[in-house]
Amino acid sequence: MKFEVDEWVLYCPLPDALNGTLKEERIRSVILDILTEDQFYDYKIFIDGRGTVKKVREQQLFILSGSTY
Position 67 pLDDT exceeds 70: no
Its pTM stands at 0.84
CA distance 55 to 47: 11
Q: What pLDDT does residue 10 have? A: 95
Q: Strand 61-63 and strand 8-11: pairing?
A: antiparallel
**Residue 32 pLDDT class (50, 70, 90 cuts):** very high
Superfamily of domain 8-63: SH3 Domains (2.30.30.40)
Where do the domains of the chain lie?
8-63
Average pLDDT of the chain?
Answer: 89
pLDDT of residue 1: 72
